[in-house]
Structure 1
Amino acid sequence: MSGGAGRRVLEAWKLGVVKYGDALRLQERLVADRRAGRVPDLVLSLQHPPTYTLGKRRTDHNLLVPESSLAGLGAELYRTERGGDVTFHGPRQAVLYPILSLRDIGLGARRYVEGLESAMIEVASLYGVKARPGGACETGVWVGDRKIGAIGVRISSGFTCHGLAFNIDPDLGYFKHIVPCGIADKEVTSLRREAAVELPPDEVIHDQLVQSLATTFRLGDVKVKDDSECADMISSAATVQH
């Protein structure tokens, strides 16, 4: 995939565990900053506490339990403006939210989504897991008929937010309460379940996904910013009220 001229840099913000609402508000702020040229292309690399999210189609029927019961599961629900259907985010799932200018890197929406799929497929292959893209009818990344990675993006005036969720070793029981991504009668799996080798710490897999994205989109060098460097932005985003 072709990028812009010259050597580009992708900032990787390693944020640890972030509440979904805080991450959502942070993305909104960063998209505005990216559009105005105040920040470069960047990707947020994080995990969420147990959270269910719905896309802009509002397919509430794919949530299989009453919304009032989610607190008893230790989970929250958010309705978002991303594409895709209902999904789950939780500990030991790698979540990447790229904030990119697709015009600057010369990509359309379809090739961008294919690049997100490619990054997850490449990382799975590092652990001997043969994954595949789902195609138009079954978006995301699959190992056979088992889904290992979900994609839900929002693209506004050529700028991206939301992104991908790659299952390292989350509690798969949470997926029993939804029709994951609106696809019935298919299992959800994880890298831990599929790999025949011991996995490294989650942070390593996060880093591998970020590097794969940078390579796929020809974004050049990765400049890492850890949560201590991003603390002010996260804190200020958390205080913003809708």
Structure 2
Amino acid sequence: MIDCFVMFRQMRRSREVWKMVTVNYLEALKLQEKLASDRKALKIINTLLSLQHPPTYIVGKRETIHNLLIPDSELKSMEVELHYTQRGGDITFHGPHQAILYPIVSLRDIGLGARMYVEKLELTMVELTSMYGVKAQAGQKCETGVWVEGRKIGAIGVRISPGITSHGLAFNMDPDLNYFKHIVPCGISDKGVTSLKNETNVELPAEDVIQE
């Protein structure tokens, strides 16, 4: 439940940042929906949620469940949840040691269209990887996200309704990449998945520092 979360709010100009610990996916989804409604009604300013999830597979609004490569019955024994959402994108994995950012913002307020907004999210992850000596780049057409030589290090799946964003990005700091073997990540079968830990020779700081 929300009152069990360790949460810190920080004001930065015209936005509020909520730094949260590991949050159940459904609880985070409910929180996003509430905040998006409040943002639309001008009850809150632009808000960013920074958190992690327990192991969870998430299917986007196209419901591409065929890209889950194991039976639903195996998920319980793996202690992995499966959820369907209304965000864009294909199936993906969220879990420990990922930096997850959910911006609840008015695109009109920040002066961006949908495409430019997604590009800004990609640029955020490209710049983060460069800080640790890793060269990454945004994907080509139909390959939303951020890649290191054909290996995906950061995924994006957003919802914009109406003009208010929710969902966002997941950056692989050091997750258990074996979870990705049970799905076709983002529906792309011929490319792999990687993490910042795998790609850099630099010793990484604590995860909260990376998320910051």
Deviation at 1:137, TM superposition (A): 2.0
Matched, 1:123 2:128: yes
Matched, 1:70 2:70: no
Alignment partners' CA distance in 1, 2:69 and 2:57: 11
SS of equivalent residue, structure 1 residue 39: coil
1:105-144 mapped onto 2 (5 Å cutoff): 105-144=110-149
**Structure 2 partner of 1:224:** none
Alignment partners' CA distance in 1, 2:200 and 2:14: 32
**Structure 2 partner of 1:101:** 106
- Segments of 5+ residues of structure 1 without an aligned counterpart are 1-6, 208-242
Deviation at 1:9, TM superposition (A): 2.2
Deviation at 1:202, TM superposition (A): 0.5
**Structure 1 partner of 2:200:** 195
Q: Which runs of 4+ in 1 moved over 4 A?
A: none
Q: Which of 130, 151, 157 in structure 2 is aligned with 1:152?
A: 157
SS of equivalent residue, structure 1 residue 70: helix
Matched, 1:55 2:60: yes
Alignment partners' CA distance in 1, 2:98 and 2:13: 28
State the one-letter code of the partner of 1:86: I
Deviation at 1:157, TM superposition (A): 1.1
SS of equivalent residue, structure 2 residue 140: coil
Deviations 1:34-83 (A, max 9, x none): 11111110110000000000000000100000111111111000000000
Deviation at 1:99, TM superposition (A): 0.2
Alignment partners' CA distance in 2, 1:58 and 1:180: 14
Alignment partners' CA distance in 1, 2:18 and 2:124: 17
Q: Which of 81, 90, 110 in structure 1 is aligned with 2:86?
A: 81
Q: TM-score, normalised by structure 2?
A: 0.93
Alignment partners' CA distance in 2, 1:8 and 1:107: 18
State the one-letter code of the partner of 2:59: L
- Segments of 5+ residues of structure 2 without an aligned counterpart are 1-11
Sequence identity (%): 65
**Structure 2 partner of 1:184:** 189
Alignment partners' CA distance in 2, 1:29 and 1:39: 11
Deviations 1:185-214 (A, max 9, x none): 21100000001100000001111xxxxxxx
Alignment partners' CA distance in 2, 1:135 and 1:57: 20
